[in-house]
Amino acid sequence: MKLYELAHVLRSKNSGPFAVTLDILFDNQAAYERVKRSGAVTPAKIAALYGIPVESITDYALYDPGLGIKITYLRDIASGTARDRDVYGAQQHAPLMDIEIP
């Protein structure tokens, strides 16, 4: 199954002007646990998918009460300055959608 079929929310957004944060949220415990246990969403896998060094990932956290996974990574280009492509960082989530969850 693909991640977008299991997740309730899949989004990206700035966390301050120098970082983008990816949120994967679920509306049921079973889907959250399935993805959490799958090992398909890890800092190493996200770094490979986005073509960024794993050191650029500054936070990776699971929050059980919120049924969610968060990955935060540093931007190459800060929000809204020359050469930025996404001022709000709101469209950087798409590559997550097709992650295959066993």
Residues making contact with other proteins (CB under 8 A)? 9, 13-19, 21, 23, 25, 27, 49-52, 58-59, 61, 63, 65-68, 70, 72, 74-76, 78-88, 91-92, 94-95
Q: Quick one: 51 or 102, whose CB is closer to other proteins?
A: 51
Rounded to the nearest whole angstrom, what is the least distance from the CB of residue 57 to other proteins in the complex?
11
Q: Quick one: 1 or 87, whose CB is closer to other proteins?
A: 87
DSSP assignment string, the chain:
-BHHHH-SEEEEEESSTTEEEEEEE-SSHHHHHHHHHHT-S-HHHHHHHHT--GGGEEEEEEEGGGTEEEEEEE-SS-TTSTT-S-TT-TT--GGGTT-B--
